[in-house]
Structure 1
Amino acid sequence: MILQVAQVLGGDNSDIGMILQTLFSLSFIIYLFYAQRIQAMTMLRQVEVTLRKVKTIKDEGRRVSIEMVKEVGKPERDPTPDVDRFLEQFVISPVSMDPAGIMGKLDQLINVSDYT
């Protein structure tokens, strides 16, 4: 059966076989020139989707945090700016116990905290 299909599609003087061979050859040549671009677009699309998921998770966590602070803490004013400031805060932890390296990192933390 496979032999019959091959004879119909790729016979010696078959017009369909010639058209299919031409299309395959053109697609192969196009792929040679645009393979890296296609791969880059695919990777960028995957990164975009992942970033959207991360943003959705971040926004949901922010919303839940604000609701819980309002529900449990019963604040007198809106806690949204405080929650946003807390979410944007991070600490650079020391990598080693080298005093010179730690002092440089602490100096960096102090300098950065002065500007915020």
Structure 2
Amino acid sequence: MTILLMLFGTTDQTSPLSIIFNLLFFGLIFVSMFYGQRLQAWKASKEIESALEKLKNWREESKQTLLTDFKKFAKEKETDKDLMLKLENFMTFVTIGPVNLDPYGIVPKFDHIIDVRDNRYEDEVIKLAPNADEIKRQNLENLLEATMAVDYVYRLVKHYLILGKKSKSMLLLMQIAMQLTLIMAMAKSYYNAVKAFSEGSPIGDALGPMVVGSLVRDINGEKEVEAVDIAKHTIYQEFEFEGRTV
């Protein structure tokens, strides 16, 4: 306090300027004691709202990309409004895993649920995009999942923001605010995946089969190599390379 007064050219504790600084100092202490948590909660909520606005834009862009791609293979009489309504209805679809308190037999249960989930996605894409071939349907499935992921992150952050405001919980708001960097990075990866799936670009595990397919074509040239189906979406090919069977 004395240093501040010296900067203004006075050290007299009874001067009007000194009294004003003292009042301001004790006023700040009072505010921090009784309203400090509210100020922190307000700051956290503003940070979340700013991030939520960006998530909303990503969500809307992803939904528009989803609608545009599905529209190419939808029924001719299907309007954009009706198609978007059906897509939004399916975007609320969730998969609930089995109870894992008892680990016995949990793997077959997960296997069954994943199969049912995959079949549900396939059936929905076939129904909404009946004119798409198998490759396009797989891209549309992945596009739908990525859009659902962006939508889920947006809904989750919005839910906790509303819950934190209603309950006036500073801790809840600050927990979300402190994790925003990770949440936004995750949402951005899903948002970028939407673009990749829309363009049909290889992503993640799709790069491996693409490299192997290129290897088979480069080695065998125009010679056709028989592809044998050994599992769902899995083929087996055999050819000779440098005196070895690959």
Whether 1:21 and 2:22 are equivalent positions in the alignment is yes
Gap runs ≥5 in structure 1: 110-116
Kindly tell me: are residues 7 and 95 of structure 1, through their superposed partners in 2, closer, same or farther at Cα, counting changes over 3 Å? same
Q: Give the strand-richer structure, 1 or 2.
A: 2
Kindly tell me: are residues 4 and 92 of structure 1, through their superposed partners in 2, closer, same or farther at Cα, counting changes over 3 Å? closer
Q: Give the helix-richer structure, 1 or 2.
A: 1
Q: Tell me the equivalent position of 2:33.
A: 32
TM-score scaled by length of structure 1: 0.65
Q: Tell me the equivalent position of 1:51.
A: 52
TM-score scaled by length of structure 2: 0.35
Specify the code of the residue in structure 1 equivalent to 2:60.
D
* Selected match of 1:99 from 82, 99, 105: 105
Superimposed CA distance per residue, residues 19-59 of structure 1 (whole angstroms, 9 cap, x where no aligned partner): 11211111211211111111112222222222222222112
Aligned CA RMSD, in angstroms, stands at: 3.7
Specify the code of the residue in structure 2 equivalent to 1:11.
T
The whole-number CA distance in structure 2 between the counterparts of 1:32 and 1:82 is 52
Kindly tell me: are residues 45 and 95 of structure 1, through their superposed partners in 2, closer, same or farther at Cα, counting changes over 3 Å? farther
Give the number of equivalent residue pairs. Answer: 106
Kindly tell me: are residues 66 and 7 of structure 1, through their superposed partners in 2, closer, same or farther at Cα, counting changes over 3 Å? closer
1:8 and 1:17 in contact (8 A); partners too: no
Pick the structure with greater CA Rg.
1
The whole-number CA distance in structure 1 between the counterparts of 2:7 and 2:106 is 78
The whole-number CA distance in structure 1 between the counterparts of 2:92 and 2:7 is 67
2:67 and 2:84 in contact (8 A); partners too: yes
Higher relative contact order (CA 8 A, sep 6+): 2
Q: Percent identity?
A: 22
Deviation at 1:100, TM superposition (A): 5.8
